[in-house]
C-alpha cells in the first residue's frame, strides 16, 4: 500500500480529538514567544500538510479552524495551568497569541532565568513604570533607556515589593539582602533579553513598555501590586487605581487615551475608542460614557504623554482648551477603516 493511501494511526491511549498535530502546533508556541494570526496560519498549514494527504496553504486556514485548534489544545493543557491566550497589540492593533502560565506570574518564572540582582532590577523597572511614572496627571507607564540604566545599581529601599501591609516578609527581606544591584551593561543585557522574549517592547523614541505577552501574564500581578484598596475607617485613605482596563475590550491600557476629566476612570485603547465612537451621533458628540465630559481624544496614556507634549495634546488630563486636536479627513477615514476591520474579526 502506498504512503498516500495509508491510514493515519493514532495511539490507543490518545484522547479523541487531540493528536500529534495539536502537539506540533503547541510546540510552535514554545518555540516562538508570541504569534500573530498571520504567523500562525502558515505554521498550522505546514502541520496540516504533514498530517493529511494534501498540501495546505495559509489561505486554507480559516479563523474558525484556528479557534477550534486552540480550543482543543487549551482543553488538554488547562489541567497543567497553561493556556494559549490572545490580546490585541495596543500599538499595531494586531491580534497576538501566547502560551501563558496561569499558575504563576512571569516574575516568579524569571527567578529560574535571572539572578537575584537581575530580578531586583526588573522589579525596580516595573515600579518605575507603574508607580513613579504613572501619576494621576501623567500616566506614562513606560521608561526611557537612560532612566532604566539609573535603576541598575542598588535596590530601591522601602519599595512596594519589599513591603506587605507595611512589614517586609521573610522572602522579601532575603531578596533585598541578595539584591546588591547590577552593572549598567548587565542591566542592558536584561532589557535586551526581555525584549527578545517579547515581555518588553522598545519604541522608536527609546521607551520600554510591557509587550502584549507580559500584559497577559502579569495582569493579576500588576493589579494586586499597584492598585491600592481604600483603607477601612472614617479617616482611611481613598482607593488608588493605577492599572485600569479599557472601557471597550476590558484589557489593561498602558497605551491609549483617557477621558478629558482627570477624575474619571475611563480609559480606551485607540482602536476601541474608534469603534465606540464610529456611530455618527457619537462621533459628532463625543461624550464620555461614564461622566459625560466631551472627550477630544487628545489626553494620552503611555509614552505619548511625553513625546506629544507641546504638539496639541494635553497630558495633564485637564479640560483641553487651546490644546484641542482636530483629526484631518484622511485620519478619520483611516480610523474608520481600522474599526471596520476590527468588527469583521
Residue-wise pLDDT for 168-184, tens only, equals 455 555 555 556 789 99
How many helices, marked H, and strands, marked E, lie in the chain? 14, 9
Q: Give the class (CATH, top level) of 107-225.
A: mainly alpha
DSSP 8-class letter at 13: T
* Residue whose entry in the numeric block shows the C-alpha cell 505546514: 46
The pLDDT tens digits of the residues spanning 64-80 come to 999 999 999 999 999 99
More confident call, 140 vs 341: 140
The partner residues of 185 in beta bridges, in order of sequence, read none
- Quick one: pLDDT at residue 170? 52
Given a cut of 50, whether residue 342 has pLDDT beyond it is no
Given a cut of 70, whether residue 158 has pLDDT beyond it is no
- Quick one: pLDDT at residue 293? 94
The pLDDT tens digits of the residues spanning 3-22 come to 333 333 333 334 458 898 99
DSSP 8-class letter at 240: B
Q: Show the cell assigned to 195.
A: 525584549
Indicate the helix (H) or strand (E) that contains 87: strand 82-88
pLDDT above 90 covers a percentage of the chain that reads 56
CB count in 10 Å sphere of residue 298: 20
**What is the average per-residue pLDDT within 310-317?**
46
Question: Buried b vs exposed e over 69-106: b needs ≥16 C-beta within 10 Å?
Answer: bbebbeebbeeeebbbbbbbbbbebebbbbbbeeeebb
Amino acid at each position: 500500500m502506498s504512503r498516500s493511501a495509508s491510514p493515519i494511526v493514532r495511539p490507543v491511549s490518545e484522547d479523541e480529538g487531540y493528536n500529534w498535530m495539536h502537539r506540533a502546533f503547541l510546540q510552535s508556541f514554545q518555540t516562538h514567544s508570541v504569534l500573530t494570526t498571520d504567523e500562525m496560519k502558515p505554521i498550522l498549514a505546514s502541520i496540516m500538510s504533514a498530517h493529511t494527504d494534501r498540501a495546505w496553504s495559509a489561505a486554507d486556514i480559516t479563523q474558525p479552524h484556528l479557534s477550534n485548534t486552540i480550543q482543543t489544545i487549551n482543553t488538554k493543557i488547562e489541567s497543567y495551568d497553561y493556556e494559549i491566550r490572545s490580546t490585541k497589540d495596543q500599538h499595531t492593533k494586531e491580534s497576538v497569541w501566547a502560551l501563558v502560565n496561569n499558575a504563576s506570574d512571569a516574575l516568579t518564572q524569571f527567578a529560574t532565568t535571572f539572578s537575584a540582582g537581575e530580578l531586583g532590577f526588573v522589579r525596580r523597572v516595573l515600579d518605575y513604570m507603574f508607580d513613579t511614572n504613572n501619576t494621576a496627571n501623567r500616566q506614562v507607564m513606560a521608561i526611557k533607556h537612560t532612566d532604566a540604566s539609573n535603576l541598575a545599581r542598588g535596590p530601591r529601599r522601602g519599595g512596594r515589593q519589599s513591603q506587605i501591609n507595611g512589614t517586609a516578609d521573610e522572602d522579601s527581606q532575603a531578596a533585598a539582602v541578595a539584591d546588591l544591584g547590577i552593572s549598567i551593561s548587565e542591566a542592558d543585557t536584561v532589557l535586551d533579553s526581555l525584549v527578545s522574549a517579547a515581555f518588553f517592547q522598545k519604541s522608536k523614541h527609546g521607551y520600554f513598555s510591557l509587550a502584549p505577552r507580559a500584559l497577559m501574564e502579569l495582569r493579576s500581578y500588576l493589579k494586586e501590586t499597584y492598585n491600592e484598596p481604600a483603607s477601612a475607617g472614617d479617616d482611611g485613605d481613598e482607593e488608588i487605581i493605577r492599572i485600569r482596563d479599557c472601557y471597550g475590550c476590558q484589557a489593561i491600557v498602558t497605551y491609549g487615551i483617557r477621558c478629558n476629566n482627570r477624575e474619571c476612570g475611563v480609559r480606551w485603547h485607540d482602536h476601541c475608542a474608534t469603534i465606540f465612537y464610529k456611530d455618527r451621533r457619537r462621533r459628532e458628540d463625543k461624550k464620555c460614557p461614564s461622566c459625560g465630559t466631551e472627550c477630544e481624544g487628545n489626553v494620552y496614556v503611555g509614552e505619548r504623554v511625553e513625546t506629544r507634549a507641546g504638539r496639541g495634546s494635553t497630558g495633564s488630563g485637564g479640560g483641553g482648551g487651546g490644546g484641542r486636536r482636530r483629526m484631518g479627513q484622511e485620519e478619520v477615514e483611516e480610523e474608520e477603516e481600522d474599526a471596520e476591520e476590527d468588527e469583521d474579526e
